[in-house]
Structures are given as structure tokens and as C-alpha cells.
Amino acid sequence: MAIAIALIVLVLVTVLFHIFSPWWLTPIASNWGMIDGTIDLTVWVTGFVFVAVNLFLAYAIIRYRHKQGAKAHYEPENKKLEIWLTAITTIGIMALLAPGLFVWAKFVAMPEDAMEFEVVGQQWEWSYRFPGEDGVFGAVAARFYSGANPFGLDPDDPAGQDDRLVASNEVTLPVNVPLKVLNRSKDVLHNFAVPQFRVKMDMVPGMVTSYWITPTRTGTFDVLCMELCGIGHYLMRGRVVVAPEADFNQWLGEQPTFAQTQEQTTASAAAGEQHYVTCAACHGAQGEGNPQMNSPKIAGLDQSYIERQLHHFRSGVRGASPEDTFGQQMAGMSNVLPDDDAIASVATYIASLPDVPAIAADTENEGNISRGKKLYQNCAVCHGDNGQGIWTMHAPRLAGMSSWYLSTQLEHFRSGIRGTHKTDQYGQQMVAMANILNDSKAIGDVIAYIDTLDQGQEDSSDTATGRGN
Ligand SMILES: [Cu+2]
């Protein structure tokens, strides 16, 4: 009897929860209302079966409960009942599956006039490509990937020269224009999904998957990765801005073409050496760093990392927090570099400096190396097993760098002094990672382990092609 009552309560609570649930589908923003239709249908069919089966069970328990002297009637076969049950189940399953097939057929049948755009997934960021004036995408291949060519476009393919490249997690799309979405992954399975669009498809390395969609309402929507893709999966976020077509066209015109991204700058190490004179006062003549000036070793860093930090210091993405005394100093100094060329030049020069050992601070680090080693396993995915840095992850070298400085940076990431600016995509990843180190002892331990890493390893294949951004 108790079980029968529990079943009835279960059915009641479930139905009430469904009706009064605060969690509903986000308001739709695409043409795929049909997907909501199939979801509704699934809820109705499975919901009906759930209620019917559980109530029948409760009824049977009550109606046929044990009575003194009553003997159960044994009836192992009942053809008529079996035919009925099989027929009803078949109809139920068909009702569940068949509409999905119709929707799927529409979903992969591209309209003639659809505008193409490509989503590129990699651990753990998104980027986007549009075919440019000629409407044709240039060829891509894994062998062309490099920091300077992150989309892997074939430099000799004329169709690719005018492709518009969006090296950012945020993309703008036109409202009420059918779009053919081409999905590409550089490493593992990912899945580009905007909940309001209702549709998604896996991105599979080595192939291009596609579907189409018409955004039906303007606004800014979150992009999520819906395929578990490693330690940073939950950080793989982006934004889609759906805008009127004119705004979209203007935005697209501002994105660089592949040819523009490949233009040689006038940046040179020789010009950088001139600029570096100012920097040497704090970072040392060889970029070896100076703990007295709180200035870290910068020799041995990847050029693209140096460039990004200098841009960030100059634009207030890094070093703007009032609590970031040292960052503020550096932000002030970054202004001596007049333009992008100067930044590129000084970064080229610093990257060309010999890898002198960092100047150690007076304070001893007494961290627990073996605990640090365990903690570092999380870091190795991005910073490399030997702390050599991995350019595709945009994660800088840690081994052989100023450990007193690295330790402050971890504190800063953890307290949000660094890496919380909304455009600081990579800093944000590091904020999440620094929170793994949830006591200040943990920071000491992981730094103690990093101190033991072999600095001679930085030329491993991961960094050899090295110019990430
Ligand atoms: Cu992913």
C-alpha cells in the first residue's frame, strides 16, 4: 500500500513540477521552431506513458493486494493483450522518431541562397571565417597551421586571399538571412551551440559538418561547447551577436582578410633594440629580470605572448586594477612604445635574446615539490610537461622564468587582479585554473615543482614553430 501511495505521489509531484518549473527553454531566436515541436512531442509521449504506467502499477498493487485465502489466477499467455501492447508501443515509438527524421531532412538540406560561414573549434576557443567577396572559401590543411596562420589556409590558393578571418570568440551574424554553418575542429570533438538557436552538430577533426539556420531576432547570445573536450571544456565560451544586415556588413568589412593578416610588417629586431633601452632599466640588459624592481625575466618568452601582454598593458586589459601596483608600473612603461609596429619590434628583439638564467629573489621557496608535481598535472595540458609553454594553447613558458613573479601572478589571477577584463580571453582561462590552487600553500608547492623543471626543454616540438597569439 505504501508503495502504491509513493507511486501516485511521484506522478503528481512530477506533473506539478513540470507545470510550475522555472526552467523552460530559452526564447527561441532561429527558424527551428520545429525542434521545439519535436521536444514537445517527446515530452507528451513519454510523459503520457510515464503517468499511465505508474498509475496502472499503483492501481494493480491496490486492486490485487494480498488477501487471506485468495489465490492468484495464473495466466502466462494472452495473445490479444500482447498484440494490443505491441501495436501501441510501435505507434508510440514511431510518433517519437518519425517527426525527427522529417526535421533532420530539412536541417541538412541547405537553401540555395544561404550565406556560408565557418566555425572553427579548438581547445578552448572559437574562431570564425567568412568566404569574402568571391563567396568561395580558400582551401585549408593541417600542414599550414602556425601562429601566423591559425586558420591553416593554403597561402597559394587565390580563393582564400579575401576570406575574412575572425580570430575571436565573438562573431556577428545577420538577422533573417539563411546561413550555412560549416563546422571544423582543429584538435578533438567540439560542438558549437547557441541554446536560443536550438540546433547543434558535432565538429569532427578531419571533416567539415554542416547545417543551416536563419537567426530570427537580434541580440547577443552565449556560445557553449556541447562536447566534453578536456580540462578547459567549461571555459570554451563565446558570443554571437545577431544584428541587422547593414550592421553585419559593416562589421564584416572591418574584419581582416587572410591576405591582410599575412602582410609583412615593418617590425624588426633592430628597431626593437632601440626601444628596449628603456625596458633594460627594469628587466635587465639581457631580459634576465630584476627582483629588486619587481620586474620578471622576459628573455625566453614567446614573441606572440610578449606582444599580447604589451597590447594588454597599453589598452588597460592588464595592469589597470588599482591593487595591481606592479602591473600599473608596467602599464605606464608600455606607453613608451608608440604603435603596433614598435610593439612587434620590441617583442621580436626580446624573443631573440639568449636564454639567460633568471635572477633569483632573496626569499627561499619552501614548497612541497611532490605535492606541487601532482598539482602541476592540471597545468601541463596548457603549459607543457616541462613548463616549456605551448603556443597553440597561448600558454607561456614557466620553467626557468622568475619564480617569485610567477607566484605573484597566481595570487593575482586567483584574486581577480589579473585576467578578469572581459576581453581577456586567455587571462580568464588562467583565472579559472588558478582557482584549482585553493590555498596559498598550493601556490608555493606548484612553484617549487616548476623550479625543478628542466629549462633546456623549451625547444620541444610544441614550441618549435612558435608564434601563437
Ligand atoms: Cu569544446
Query: Is residue 465's pLDDT more than 60?
Result: no
**DSSP output for 283-308:** H-TTS--BGGGTBPP-TT--HHHHHH
Tens digits of per-residue pLDDT, 195-208? 999 999 999 999 99
What integer is the mean pLDDT of 131-157?
Answer: 90
Tens digits of per-residue pLDDT, 68-124? 888 888 888 999 999 999 999 999 899 889 988 999 999 889 998 899 999 999 999
154 alpha carbon to ligand 1 midpoint, in Å?
25
| Residues 198 and 135: beta-carbon distance below 8 Å | no
Task: Please tell me the predicted confidence (pLDDT) of residue 70.
Answer: 83
Assign residue 367 the CATH number of its domain.
1.10.760.10
> Into how many domains does the chain fold?
3
Q: What mean pLDDT is reported for the chain? A: 90
238 alpha carbon to ligand 1 midpoint, in Å?
11
233 and 119 share one domain: yes
Query: Is residue 221's pLDDT more than 90?
Result: yes
Task: Please tell me the predicted confidence (pLDDT) of residue 71.
Answer: 84
Q: How many residues does the chain have?
A: 469
Residue 124 lies in a domain: yes
Tens digits of per-residue pLDDT, 431-449? 999 998 887 789 999 999 9
315 and 220 share one domain: no
218 and 293 share one domain: no
429 alpha carbon to ligand 1 midpoint, in Å?
14
Which residues are in the CB-under-5-Å shell of ion ligand 1?
Answer: 190, 225, 229, 236
269 alpha carbon to ligand 1 midpoint, in Å?
37
pLDDT tier, 462 (very low <50, low <70, confident <90, very high otherwise)? very low
Task: Please tell me the predicted confidence (pLDDT) of residue 50.
Answer: 94
Beta 209-213 vs 179-185: how paired, if at all?
Answer: antiparallel
Residue 71 lies in a domain: no
99 and 164 share one domain: no
Per residue in 91-125, is it b (16+ CB within 10 Å) or e — as a string?
eeeeebeeeeeeeeeebeeeeeebbbbbbbbbbbb
Which domain-ending residue is among 256, 290, 309? 256
pLDDT > 70: what percent of the chain?
97
Residue 389 lies in a domain: yes
CA 358 to chain centre: 33
pLDDT tier, 310 (very low <50, low <70, confident <90, very high otherwise)? very high
375 alpha carbon to ligand 1 midpoint, in Å?
23
132 alpha carbon to ligand 1 midpoint, in Å?
26
111 alpha carbon to ligand 1 midpoint, in Å?
28
321 alpha carbon to ligand 1 midpoint, in Å?
31
Task: Please tell me the predicted confidence (pLDDT) of residue 464.
Answer: 39
Query: Is residue 458's pLDDT more than 80?
Result: no
145 and 164 share one domain: yes
169 alpha carbon to ligand 1 midpoint, in Å?
12
Residue 214 lies in a domain: yes
Query: Is residue 461's pLDDT more than 60?
Result: no
371 alpha carbon to ligand 1 midpoint, in Å?
29
Tens digits of per-residue pLDDT, 222-280? 999 999 998 889 989 999 999 999 999 999 999 999 998 888 777 888 889 999 999 99
| Residues 42 and 89: beta-carbon distance below 8 Å | no
Assign residue 129 the CATH number of its domain.
2.60.40.420
Query: Is residue 359's pLDDT more than 50?
Result: yes
Task: Please tell me the predicted confidence (pLDDT) of residue 76.
Answer: 87
What integer is the mean pLDDT of 368-391?
Answer: 92
Which domain-ending residue is among 256, 278, 303? 256
Which domain-ending residue is among 223, 256, 289? 256
Residues 6 or more apart whose Cβ sits within 8 Å of residue 13: none
193 alpha carbon to ligand 1 midpoint, in Å?
10
Query: Is residue 450's pLDDT more than 60?
Result: yes
pTM value? 0.82
Query: Is residue 9's pLDDT more than 50?
Result: yes
304 and 409 share one domain: yes
Residue 69 lies in a domain: no
282 and 411 share one domain: yes
**Cα distances (angstroms) measured from residue 440 to each of 376, 414, 435, 437:** 15, 10, 11, 7
For residue 60, the enclosing domain spans 2-64+78-107
102 and 153 share one domain: no
Residues 6 or more apart whose Cβ sits within 8 Å of residue 388: 397, 399, 457, 458, 459, 460, 462, 463
Among 13-17, 65-69, 306-310, 329-333, the minimum mean pLDDT is found in: 65-69
d(CA 308, CA 230): 25
d(CA 365, CA 158): 56
53 and 167 share one domain: no
User: Which of 167, 171, 173, 187 has its CA nearest to residue 227?
Assistant: 187
pLDDT tier, 455 (very low <50, low <70, confident <90, very high otherwise)? low
Task: Please tell me the predicted confidence (pLDDT) of residue 46.
Answer: 92
What integer is the mean pLDDT of 180-201?
Answer: 94
Residue 72 lies in a domain: no
Residue 73 lies in a domain: no
234 alpha carbon to ligand 1 midpoint, in Å?
8
48 and 119 share one domain: no
101 and 119 share one domain: no
Check whether the bond before 124 is cis (ω within 30° of 0).
yes
User: Which of 310, 407, 392 has its CA nearest to residue 360?
Assistant: 407
Residue 70 lies in a domain: no
435 and 303 share one domain: yes
